[in-house]
Amino acid sequence: MRTARAAGIVAIAVFRESVRDKIFYNLVLFAVLLVGASVLIGQLTAGQDVKIIKDLGLSATSVFGVFVAIFVGISLVSKEVDRRSVYPLLAKPIRRSELIAGKYAGLLLTLLLNTAVMTIALYTVLFFLSRGVPENIQHAWDAPALDPALLKAIALIYVDVAVVTAVALFFSSYSSPMLSAVFTLGVYVVGQFNADLKRFDQIVSAPAAAIIAKTAYYVLPDFSRFDVKLAVVHGVPVSGAYMTSAVLYALAYIAALLFGAMAIFSRRDFK
Amino acid sequence: MSAPAIRTRELTKDFPVGFWRPRPYRALDRLSIDVAQGDVFGFLGPNGAGKTTTLKLLMQLVFPTSGDAEILGRPVGDVAVRRRIGYLPENPYFYDHLTAEELLEYYGRLFGMPAAERRGRIAATLDRLGIGAERRLQLRKFSKGMLQRVGLAQALLNDPEVLFLDEPMSGLDPLGRRDVRALILELRDAGRTIFFSSHILSDAEALCSRVAIVAKGRLAGAGRLADMQEFAVKGWELVMANVPASALDRLRPRARGVVTIAADRYAIDIAPDGHPEGLLRELIAAGATLVSLNPVRETLEDVFVRRVSAVGDGARPSAGEGRPR
């Protein structure tokens, strides 16, 4: 109870600081990009514009979310340590583990706002694009313009950035911001091709490389599990069971990464 | 008798130095000090002496290699004891996008203060530190001196029994320094314990009941400043203007030396038992004008060098040397 309260106080401060910091510019950039692209594409394509906007909007939501998760996630802890704002904070009645939990929760709140605003922007653009389109053309689409299934893709994008945030927080609990960014980006990129790592022994004959690839497959999170953008855009159903398993998979990784970050941060000397 | 406000025993800290083959570097070597409740305790030493390391050990920002420390009779790792202390780090830095009020609101919540009490304490503390309308500005717009005041405000927010101040005068203008000195004396009168680090002897002289001197990671001396031999007055420097030649001739045998500064201005070096008051009276009666009268003491730096040389050869102890078993 005490731990949750302390972490909650930190989370609110993180949310307030983050929202005033970089997120706002990120959202403006996203909205301008999406509106600009939709106007342009609307003039260039016939009938395919809604699908392209969905694809573009979901991809942009994912890319911007990951961007915020990596750079804000890393700076949350490393900026506190580099600028020494952690010194007066840790002299207050708060445990280091509570600080890590609060930082994570605060960034999740920020990312939730980020994702919510992007979702509203995407649905708004889709609403204006589909308005006035004849019904026979709308019937030819794989899925309706304002398809609620888009929310499934967006939910998994949010889960994806939650895992990326946990990875960023883990690395920044002991490493410099630059190295943390490189490591997190590395894990994210390799994690996109995680399924290929499992089959690496079928491609190469070197046993050592196959063992390394297999180990990486089991250790690194499989980020491709959270990517259902293509399916949703093309109207392919995504089952509730798939959603549940993806969320549970993410929760296991997040828990492991947070406990690791807490353990490291709790023993760290601030020189 | 109550437990000391602060107590360290054989407190030692080694930091690894070097990337490929890190070797331990001893930043603090077996520090044992007691600070009584109600003391204003000056923790003195030149830059790099181990003052900030000691404060960080007391705040659990770094962990000891060996030895231990207590605050108010509790181990420093006890989170509960942090409700009763305040800490101002050296050159404090906070969150760019929060206002001073929001920062204190954040910290006040961590102390578990109820909302009404929190609001009252925040307003009173900011008023006390002279932070007026600026309290609603984001901290990135604050000058270094104003950030120092915010740092003091957050350290005082919970009305702490023990206050740790790392170089509290740093970054302050003369008015700010005067305010902080007054604040420390006010807190002392209210029975608070204040542990402050400084490399400026005049701060310690003006404020401290007791001091400890650290140099090169080791305790080089501790006690009442007035009792420490090195800080006893070694003589007096009297500077006078418009001194008549006859008066100058009369005082020469009673002075250790007389140096001409300008046409009729002289610096007179007087032995510690040379009664400068009497000489001053005579010179003024002869028509001279007082420019200044100052005690001559060794500098803190001189004391460090000699104390450390007396301990060893002046070098910082290596990590393996003299480690407690």
Asked whether the predicted pLDDT for residue A22 surpasses 70, the reply is no
Structure ipTM over 0.90, yes or no: no
Quote the CA–CA distance of A116 and A65 in Å, as a whole number. Answer: 11
Q: What is the CATH number of domain B233-296?
A: 3.30.70.100
CATH class of B6-230: alpha beta
Helices (H), chain A: 2-18, 24-44, 49-82, 86-90, 96-130, 135-140, 150-172, 177-192, 194-198, 200-203, 207-219, 229-233, 240-266
pLDDT tens column, B15-36: 988 878 888 889 999 999 999 9
Is A92 within 8 Å of B102 when comparing Cβ atoms?
A: no
State the average pLDDT for chain A: 85
Is B59 within 8 Å of A21 when comparing Cβ atoms?
A: no
Q: How far is A46 from chain B (nearest CA, A)?
A: 46
Q: How far is B5 from chain A (nearest CA, A)?
A: 16
pLDDT tens column, A121-145: 888 888 887 777 777 777 777 777 7
Identify all chain B residues contacting A90, using CB atoms and an 8 Å cutoff.
59-61
Answer for the pair A138, A50: CB distance below 8 angstroms, yes or no: no
Identify all chain A residues contacting B141, using CB atoms and an 8 Å cutoff.
none
Give the chain A residue whose CA is nearest to the CA of B93.
A85
Q: What residue segments make up the domains of chain B, in order of their start?
A: 6-230, 233-296
Is A17 within 8 Å of B98 when comparing Cβ atoms?
A: yes
Find the CB nearest B95 among A9, A12, A85.
A85
Provide the terminal-to-terminal Cα distance of chain B, rounded to the nearest Å. Answer: 30
Identify all chain B residues contacting A16, using CB atoms and an 8 Å cutoff.
97-98, 102
Is B93 within 8 Å of A83 when comparing Cβ atoms?
A: yes
Ranked by mean pLDDT, which of A216-225, B69-78, B260-269 comes out on top?
Answer: B69-78
Size of interface A-B (CB pairs under 8 A): 79
pLDDT (0 to 100) of residue B308: 59
Q: Does A83 touch chain B (CB under 8 A)?
A: yes
Q: Does B60 touch chain A (CB under 8 A)?
A: yes
Identify all chain A residues contacting B156, using CB atoms and an 8 Å cutoff.
none
Higher-pLDDT residue of A46 and A145 is A145
Identify all chain A residues contacting B82, using CB atoms and an 8 Å cutoff.
91-94
Q: Does A88 touch chain B (CB under 8 A)?
A: yes
Q: Does B24 touch chain A (CB under 8 A)?
A: no
Find the CB nearest B87 among A85, A91, A271.
A91
pLDDT tens column, A147-162: 888 999 999 999 999 9
Q: What pTM did the predictor assign?
A: 0.82
pLDDT tens column, B206-240: 888 898 988 888 898 888 876 765 666 788 999 99
Sort B190 into a burial class: Cβ within 10 Å, 0-12 / 13-18 / 19+.
exposed
Is B85 within 8 Å of A91 when comparing Cβ atoms?
A: yes
Q: Does B308 touch chain A (CB under 8 A)?
A: no
Is B63 within 8 Å of A94 when comparing Cβ atoms?
A: no
Distances (CA, A) of B291 to A120, A251, B247, B288: 77, 76, 16, 10
Asked whether the predicted pLDDT for residue B324 surpasses 50, the reply is no
Residue B147 token pair: 């950030």
Is B102 within 8 Å of A20 when comparing Cβ atoms?
A: no
Cα Rg of chain A (Å, integer)? 21
pLDDT exceeding 70 applies to what percent of chain B?
90
